[in-house]
Structure formats: C-alpha cells, structure tokens
Structure 1
Amino acid sequence: MNELLRQHAREIFAAGLRAVDPIAAIQRHVRRDGAVLTVGSTRYDLHAYRHIYVIGGGKAGASMAQAIEEILGDRITAGWVNVKYAHLAPTHIIALHEAGHPVPDREGAHGVRQMIAMIGQATAEDLVICLISGGGSALLPAPAEGISLEEKQAVTSLLLRCGATIHEMNAIRKHISAIKGGQLARIVAPATMISLILSDVIGDPLDTIASGPTVPDTFTFADCLSMFERFHLLEQLPRSVRDHVMRGARGEIAETPKPGDPLFDRTQNLIIASNIQAAQAAADQARSLGYHALILSSSIAGETRVVANVHAAILKEIVQSGNPLPRPACIVSGGETTVTIQGNGLGGRNQEFALSAALDIAGLPGVVVLSAGTDGTDGPTDAAGAVADGETVTRAKRQGLEPGAFLTNNDSYHFFDALGDLVKTGPTHTNVMDLRILLANAA
C-alpha cells in the first residue's frame, strides 16, 4: 500500500477540517468590545436590548453555542439549540438538545417548540441570535398545520431514496414546515435577529442552507409540486402532504415570505464558514508537504459514481501526461454528490465515491484517493468516508471480495471495513459538505 500517500491524504483532510472549526469561525466574524457587538461589518449596541436569546440547530450547533457563550457570557438571557445525537459539548447557559438526523424525530420537534416558546414573545427591544449549520433542516422539524411528524419523516425518507438534491429536499421541507423558508423570521419579528450560518450547500445559497428559516424563500408551492411529479412521488406521499402542497399551489395557503418582505429589515444573515475555505486550507497543507496543488472546484455535484469516474480520469491524466499538474500532485475538490440507491447494502456517498474510483484506478501505481464528509458522518454509518489506491482492488480480491458486486449493492461500508480503509473521525462538530483528496507521488 502507499502508506506515505495515505498518511498525507489524511493530514490534508485534517487541515481542511481545522479551517472550518465553528469556534474559530465565529471568533473571526463576531467580536465584542464592551457594549458593542460587531458581527461581520455590522455593529450592535447591546445597551439597546433587554434580552438576548440564542436558538438554532445543526451538527455544528454545540461548538457554535460554545463560541457565542464565550463572547457574550451572562449577557445571554437563555438559549436552546438542537444538535444531532452524540454531538454535544459543554455549555453553561444555552441548552443543547439532542435530536434525530437525517430523519427528523419527536425530540427535534420538542426542541423547536421550546425555541418558539422562548422567542415567541420577543419584542423590538430584544435580540435573537440564530445558529445554523448543516443538518439544520432535519434538526429543526416543525410540521405545517395538518401534517404530522411521522408524515414529514416519510417524505424525508422518500426524498433521500430517490436521489433528490439538497436544494430540492429543502425546497419541499420549507413548504411543509411552520418555521423554514423565512417563517422563523416571522416568529422572531419585531425583535432584531442575527443568523450565523455554517454552509453545507453548494454555492452557499442562504435560502437553502437548513431550509432558510431566517431568509426570504425563492421557491414556491408550484415548484414543490413539480418536483414531486418529476420524481414520481405523488402517489407515494402521505395524503396530508400531497393535499397541503396542492392547496398551496392553488393559492389556498399563504406562501413562504419572499424577497422584499419588510420583516427581514431587522435580520442579518452571515455565512461564517463554507466548503471553499476547507478546500483552500487542504490545498495549502498539500503544498506544505511538497505537492503541486489545485482546487478543482468546491461545487461538485451529481451522481457519485459519475463524479468518481471523472476524478479518476484526472488522476490518470496526471500520471500519464503531467496534466493538469506535474507530479507530485494533489487535486482537491469539494461539494456534495448524490447516490441513487439500487441495492440494500450500507454506505454513504464518500465511501461509494472511493469504491467507484478504486475500480477506475486499479493497477495505477503511486496514487491515492480519499473522500470524506467534513461532519464525520457519511450516510447512515460511523465513518466519514474511505481511502483507496491502485492496489485496493487487488487486495480486495485476495480476500475474496468482489468490488463490483459491493458497488452494485451500495455496500461500500462493508467493503472498506473489511480492508481497514474506512476514514473514521467521530463527530467533528462542523459541516461544510465533503472533501475529496487525490494524490499522485513523484514520477
């Protein structure tokens, strides 16, 4: 095996993670000087506010809450943030509440009710700080009237299985929710709101991250209906959801608030970290290790296997012709791909990427591919991703493993587990999508 390359790939990935640490990100963007709080370039006089409440949800919620407590201390009146199970950290004022992800559960719904009870009576003399990070859509479930949590869970499961993009999933979530798509801003008004956002969505669109609870919504009920039709889900949807979306498309239910709505005049939304920052740090680390480094893109999307094929082709080109980089070379890419599930195995998009790439680079000497999620969780597994090289297929076959069969069954987890090639980080308390590291050693 290419042990040094594998070690370097892990070091490069770790550097990307450090760059998007939520505590450091908040400290870069939020500063307090006595009674003046500066968020980005906006200044707030803390003397103007009677109460400061902290709410939010996401995989990075615990670390973000820690950072805000360090800055504001006992100036915080109260706080409640929903986090994924086992993603806790010590806080003193802000309550951290564990809930389900990626399928929302009753604990998540309970947490949202607690938040609404806290901020529902906020006045123009109050300040609400909202902490949003990847996973916020699932961790902030508040079904619209007439829709049960179980029905919302069923819709989420259907969307996950059909290969819907994060943009499509969140557009639908907003329209079957009571708080997403800018509706949380309705509840907070007339209080001032600051929303600090860790982006886990390609292009960092504010209305898609965590389904945009604090920003105007650009999607409509008609868009949601069109998506359901395209994925052939109308007949599989719970009746309450289908009826709700159809009524909305006919104009019988109020739309989510749109751009230009004055309720957003007292709301600041600020992205504090994103995938490109992780990719840049990874590339810098690669250069420090002696590699020529190139960021391919931080906006990679599409079917995982197809994306893996393209990345493998680039790696082959580097070995064969020295393009687009001379060796030793490092290609970094970010974004989030999708897997259309056809088998009944266990895995995630990063493990499937690594397995598909392994088949394409089989026999190629001096190369390594690592793909992992920055949140430390890839699909419904305890791994962040996996690492593969030109010898992976040969090693697998020596153990009686047929890589193609595992790929067909979407069983990349058990394939890499048998080889000892899973990447396991545990909860990272951040989430800015995925990083892929491609390395080729010196010629």
Structure 2
Amino acid sequence: MVDIRRPRDGSVSWTPAHETAVEALRSGIEAAHPATRVAETLSLQAEQLSVEGVDGTTASYDLETYDDIVIVGGGNAAGAFAAALEDRLDDRLTDGVVVTDAPEPTTTVDVLTGDHPLPSPEGVHNSARVLERADRAGENDLLLTVITGGASALLAAPAGQLSLSALRNLTEQLLACGASIEEINAVRKHCSAIKGGQLARAGAPATVVTLVLSDVIGDDPSTIGSGPTAPDPTTYADAIAVLDRYEIDVPAAVRNHLSAGNDGDRPETPTATEPAFRNVATHLLGTNRTALETASAVATERGYTPLILSSRVRGEAREAALTHVAIAEECHETGTPIEPPAVLLSGGETTVTLSDRSGRGGPNQEFVTSGSLALEIEDVVIASIDTDGIDGATDAAGAIADGTTVLAADGRRALECHDVYPLLDAHGALLETGPTGTNVNDLRVLVIDS
C-alpha cells in the first residue's frame, strides 16, 4: 500500500476534505501499480497467456511455442513490473534484466538500478546489459519488454561516441527549457543506442511483446520512455529543431552527433517499415486515466460528486492551477458544472520553465502553491502529486493546501524564484510517498465542500 504522509506538521489543518484528497491520490496510485495492472489485464490458462490492454487491444500467446521467455526493459515501475510478471509466469520464465530506481525483490529477473531524472554511470552500465540480453534473443524466444515512465533516463545508453557527461548536460537543459515531452524525447532518442525503437531492433527476430504503463499525454508508445520498442516518427532534423527552438547550448559533441545524423553519416532510428517490427506487439496496461477513474470512485464513496476534467492537462504548472481554481470557485458559487460537495480531478503533465535563480520545487508543488494563492474561498482543498513519488528533483511527491495555507507575499516570491519547496515545507504542506513503484504522470484533486 502506498503511504502518503506529511513530513512535518504545520499550518495546514487536516480536515475530512484533506483526508478525501489524500485517499483519492493514494487509491489512484495503487490502481496504476504494476501488480494491480498485471492482475487485471493478464491471464494464464494452461500455457495460453492472454493480454487485454486498457485501449481495447487483446492478444494471446502460446508459451509452449517459445524456447526462452525473457523479461527486459526499464522505468520507474520496471522492478514492480518484473516482480508481478514473475508471480504470474512462475517457472515458465527463463531470465531477464530491467533497470529501475525503485528495486523490487525478484528470483529470476535481475533488477538493476539507475538514476532519474538524470542518467548515471550505473544506469549506462546496466542499460548495456539490457541491450546485450535483447541481442541474444533468438527467433523462437519471447521477449517480454516492460516500459514505464522514467525509462528515458533510466535506460541510459549514449549513442556513438557521446559521453555520459554530455548526455547529462543535454538532459538537464531539456528538462529545464519548458519543452514538451515529445520534443524532449525526439532529442533523447537520437542521442541513444536503445531508445526510438532500437531495443526492438536489438531483439529481432524474437517475438517482442511490450507491456506499457503510460506517463505521457495521449499514450503514444513512441513517446513513453522514448519508445525503445516503438517505431520512431522523429528524425535528426527534428532533434536539431528542438535545440534551436529553445536556444539550448548543448555540448559540441551532441551538436556534432546530431548534425552527422542529419547529413546521413549516421543511421536514423528505425521507422515502422523496418523488418525489426514484424514480430513486435504493444499492449497498454495502465494510463493516467486508470488512476483518475479510481480516484473518482473514492470521491463517490465519500459522498462527493466527482468530475474528471481532463487527463491531458499541460502547460506551465502555475497557469494550469489558475484554471482549476476558477472551475472550483464556479462550482462553489453557482453549482456549475457540478454541485458541491464535489471533487474535481485532472491528470497530465505540467511543466516549470526554470530560470538562473531557481531553487527547489517541482510542477506539482508549484501547482498547489499557485492554486492556494489564487483561492478566494476557504472551502476548497487543492492537492497534486507525481504518481512516481518524485516531484522535480526533490524528496516530495507533491503538496496539499487550501486558501489559508500560503501567505501571499511569501508565495509569490517563492513562485518567482521557483523555490516553493521550503515554503510548503514550513507550512507542513508537502506530501511524501517515497518511490511508489509506478508512474502514470501527475494526479490532481480539488475537494469542494458545500
């Protein structure tokens, strides 16, 4: 069970509305955990493994027809995924290797560690083991590939002669520039030896069955974890365009690598027509919507009318908060679009465009700070959390507040400097979970009492 806790007491008074918000968040995270998703979407009868994706796809695999059944992959939830699949497949599983930042005990699969959000030497070494195991798979093998949010950083395999330091510098700048995840991953895929379909290329001609937990808006397999087993629709030219658009001053080695690819001196990432994808199938087992629908059910159980606003909220966190607050205030004053007591829910991924004087915080913390400052009524609780348990580069998963939590002058100053963590910490408004074992993007809850 996920434990959502406040690191210290503060000026946030814990009310039933706060408890409802936290329980909705907790239940949403647990619904998206790999153990839950495997139990609900994979079934095994005799030697027939059936997979039912949340997007309506279904498939069946006769395990007796394969010589070896191997698990590879990476992401925040890859360890929990591997453990759940071990339980389901039992002694049918041959071996495997995954990279994660939240290890789980396993007996057959090697669960190795890496770092997130910036790649590390350990991640590079262990990602090479994933590639090596995929490369050894034969034509009569089944390669179960688990891909979850966080795989872009955890599966760190620098392409060509790129160094880890260059990759870290690039990643740090991409995450700070305000680019969308699609733009960020277009660059990362072209600086990697494993992303953008290259893991599928390594695994061919084995049967590659990819099981995915989505942490991106729209659930595009080519974007989730930078799509290690998905055809890549982006090009070296697209990657260069992102760097130019956001005026990112990358190391010379990165620019030279991308330019060489754009000039045809390096092979492109594989597209849908490549033979590597002939035996590749992808199944989406959980998304942000999975968490939202469970959180909505919790609200109903507690006597609130729920409304899921969207699973695709994006843009600057502080600006998105203003829209959410406006809807909550409209509900409170006019009963539109729903009558209180009500719970508004949303998912997606907001961003924070950092500056030279940025401090500590994350998108969910900024969302809550901005929302708390904007609230003109006290009967609303606003909470937001990253479902992987890590908001920005902090030990907090997110925050919870109401209209009385943050002092206006301090809050505006903290937002201006992107340094909201100390302020929320002082008010006892931070929420901590530690690594949750899953990652389906951000989850936001606004509780409106009557």
- Structure-2 residue corresponding to 1:410: 418
- Structure-2 residue corresponding to 1:356: 370
Equivalent residue in structure 1 for 2:73, among 42, 51, 56: 56
Distance 2:130 2:107 in 1: 17
- Contact 1:2-1:389 at 8 Å conserved across structures: no
Distance 1:46 1:97 in 2: 26
Counterpart secondary structure, 1:392: coil
110-119 vs 91-100, which deviates more?
Answer: 110-119
The amino acid that maps onto 1:49 is: Y
Equivalent residue in structure 2 for 1:11, among 23, 43, 65: 23
Question: How many residue pairs end up in the alignment?
Answer: 432
Distance 1:119 1:249 in 2: 27
Per the normalisation by structure 1, the TM-score is: 0.95
What's the CA shift string for 1:216-270, capped at 9, x where partnerless?
A: 011111111111110112xx21112101111222222211111232321211111
Instruction: Give the CA deviation at 1:2.
Output: 6.0
- Structure-1 residue corresponding to 2:4: none
Counterpart secondary structure, 2:116: coil
Distance 2:47 2:346 in 1: 42
Counterpart secondary structure, 2:106: coil
Q: Which aligned pairs between 1:69-108 and structure 2 lie closer than 5 A?
A: 69-84=86-101, 87-108=102-123
Q: Which aligned pairs between 1:12-31 and structure 2 lie closer than 5 A?
A: 12-31=24-43
214-223 vs 239-248, which deviates more?
Answer: 239-248
The amino acid that maps onto 1:72 is: L
What's the CA shift string for 1:131-165, capped at 9, x where partnerless?
A: 11110010001111121111111100111121122
Matched, 1:240 2:257: no
Equivalent residue in structure 2 for 1:376, among 389, 394, 419: 389
- Contact 2:134-2:199 at 8 Å conserved across structures: no
The amino acid that maps onto 2:76 is: K
- Contact 2:368-2:383 at 8 Å conserved across structures: yes
Matched, 1:272 2:285: yes
What's the CA shift string for 1:171-226, capped at 9, x where partnerless?
A: 11111111111111110001111111000000100100000010101111111111
What's the CA shift string for 1:289-340, capped at 9, x where partnerless?
A: 1111110000000011110111111111112211111111111000000001
Instruction: Give the CA deviation at 1:7.
Output: 0.9
Distance 1:379 1:316 in 2: 28
Equivalent residue in structure 1 for 2:126, among 108, 111, 117: 111
Structure 1 unaligned spans of 5+: none
- Structure-2 residue corresponding to 1:123: 138
Structure 2 unaligned spans of 5+: 1-12, 53-57
Instruction: Give the CA deviation at 1:110.
Output: 0.8
Per the normalisation by structure 2, the TM-score is: 0.94
151-160 vs 11-20, which deviates more?
Answer: 11-20
The amino acid that maps onto 1:176 is: C
The amino acid that maps onto 1:212 is: G
Instruction: Give the CA deviation at 1:9.
Output: 0.6
Distance 1:366 1:121 in 2: 59
Deviant stretches of 4+, over 6 Å: none
Supply the RMSD in Å over aligned alpha carbons: 1.3
Matched, 1:42 2:59: yes
The amino acid that maps onto 1:20 is: A
Counterpart secondary structure, 1:39: strand
Q: Which aligned pairs between 1:144-163 and structure 2 lie closer than 5 A?
A: 144-163=159-178
Q: Which aligned pairs between 1:177-192 and structure 2 lie closer than 5 A?
A: 177-192=192-207
Distance 1:18 1:71 in 2: 19
Distance 1:17 1:206 in 2: 21
> Percent same amino acid among aligned pairs?
42
- Greater RCO (CA < 8 Å, at least 6 residues apart): 2
Distance 1:323 1:215 in 2: 42
248-257 vs 6-15, which deviates more?
Answer: 248-257
Distance 1:104 1:264 in 2: 27
- Structure-2 residue corresponding to 1:141: 156
The amino acid that maps onto 2:115 is: G
